[in-house]
Amino acid sequence: MPHKLPRSVPLLTGLLAALWCTCAAAQTRVVFPLQEDTAVVGGLRHVEARHEDTLIDVARRHRVGFQAIRLANPELNTWIPGEGARVLLPLLFVLPDTPKRGIVINLPEMRLYHFHAAPSGEGRRVATYPVSIGRREWGTPQGTLEVIQKREDPTWTPPDSVRQAYAAQGKSLPDVVPAGPDNPLGAYALRLSRPTYLIHGTNWSTGIGLRSTHGCIRMDNDDIGVLFPHVDVGTPVHIVHQAVKAGWRDGVLYLEVHPPLEERATESSPLETAMERVMAAVAGREARVDWNRVRATVTQASGVPRAVGWTAGHAAAPLLATPAAPKSPDAAGEGAGQPPSGDSLSPVSLIPVPAGEQAQDWFVRMGRFRDEERALVLSAHLEADGFASRVVGGARGTGAWTYHVLLGPAVGREEAVSLAQRARQRTALEGEVMRWPPPQGR
């Protein structure tokens, strides 16, 4: 008997085709509208690598930094991902916890944010670009600076410290490097109020998203060409180190964790920092947090935001819940470093499991496929819409392998129905509420 797809698949095929076209047409889109309460912008995307691509090639086409794309795709070979390899573009961002004005550079994620008014006068926007920052021995300074000069086709006068570093390697530098293709400042430069530090272009775009400078902020030439005309002298530049960020969008709390800079790695516990950020984000809201997801996000430190909480009554809440891990002592002593847990209805808690009912019994099946690739694509788009999705394989009676795309677990059938309704509202896809595993043949 031929495999029959659920009735949502024709719609699914059209939806994914439309999403793919949108991604292809907007692959360099890095500007997002900014409301007063905006904390999360953008969305996750997948693209296919070409035969000749490295991950660096894919990153540059889509304004993603080198380290960011490697952290988001740990299973892929950096230099030969392979033709048709699905590459996750980490283009969902929790905005840094700073004043939303001028330029903000977050060192651990090696990313620049530019907050500005839309030229049309229709509100404010934020544009974001990958950058390179100073090597450990040439650290980029933190603090609030400002742009004091703008230079197009700049010349470069190497400072004494850089000359000495080159001399130690048996190399020499001219007194002044003229503008042109060999100038490491590229086509544009913004001088900061610590005059030896610049935001500038480059003659080596391959290195964007690495710690590879003498302390300056380096951008791809195309990116700084877009940024340059929108930055005025006097624009504030906030340079921060925020390896852990948390923020809300549409009733869902996202946590984004990056590896800290090497020299800052021992300053604080990433888990403790994440707990503080999450608790600060929840303050004053009726909301719940899945602390198991918080721990997993900290452990992965992939730079990809993950949903870890929800507002009270949110229809997507069941899909975020995972069973609470039992409390146990750690190396620091009983309960040290443990986030809150329990089943109360306090502002921060895990979903309680009704007595006699298993939390993982109920799911919403959004589709089933013979082709694992199609199942993974759907799952990725559901994740981008704020739903925690998973792909589960199961053998049918004929022996053919079927891949199921599930949302859940839900605590009971009613919450699964509510979850299916929210998924339909946000994606136009019809999910099937069911227990898992399903009866044989389904």
Q: Which residues are catalytic?
A: 200, 216
Query: Residues near 270 by Cβ (< 8 Å), separated by ≥ 6?
Result: 243, 244, 257, 260, 298, 301
Distance (Å) of CA 156 to CA 189, 287, 440: 10, 53, 70
Q: Give backbone dihedrals phi and psi of 215, rounded to 5 degrees, phi first.
A: 115, -20
Q: d(Cα 321, Cα 112) in Å, to the nearest integer?
A: 33
In which residue are the tokens 């443990």 written?
338
Q: How many CB atoms lie within 10 A of CB 280?
A: 11
Give 284's strand partners: none
Helix H, strand E, coil C: the string for the chain is CCCCCCCHHHHHHHHHHHHHHHHHHCCCCCEEEECCCCCEEECCEEEECCCCCCHHHHHHHCCCCHHHHHHHCCCCCCCCCCCCCEEEECCEEECCCCCCCEEEEECCCCEEEEEEECCCCCCEEEEEEECEEECHHHCCCCEEEEEEEEEECCCECCCHHHHHHHHHCCCCCCCCECCCCCCCCCCEEEEECCCCCEEECCCCHHHCCCEEECCCEECCHHHHHHHHHHCCCCCEEEEECCCEEEEEECCEEEEEECCCCHHHCCCCCHHHHHHHHHHHHHCCCCEEECHHHHHHHHHHCCCCCEEEEEECCCCCHHHHCCCCCCCCCECCECCCCCCCCCCCCCCCCCCCCCCCCCCCCEEEEEEEECCHHHHHHHHHHHHHCCCCEEEEEEECCCCCEEEEEEEEEECCHHHHHHHHHHHHHHHCCCCEEEECCCCCCC
User: Could you tell me which of 218, 59, 198, 261 has the C-alpha nearest to residue 131?
Assistant: 218
Distance between alpha carbon 216 and the CA centroid of its chain, in Å?
24
- Answer yes or no: are the C-beta atoms of 118 and 89 closer than 8 Å: no
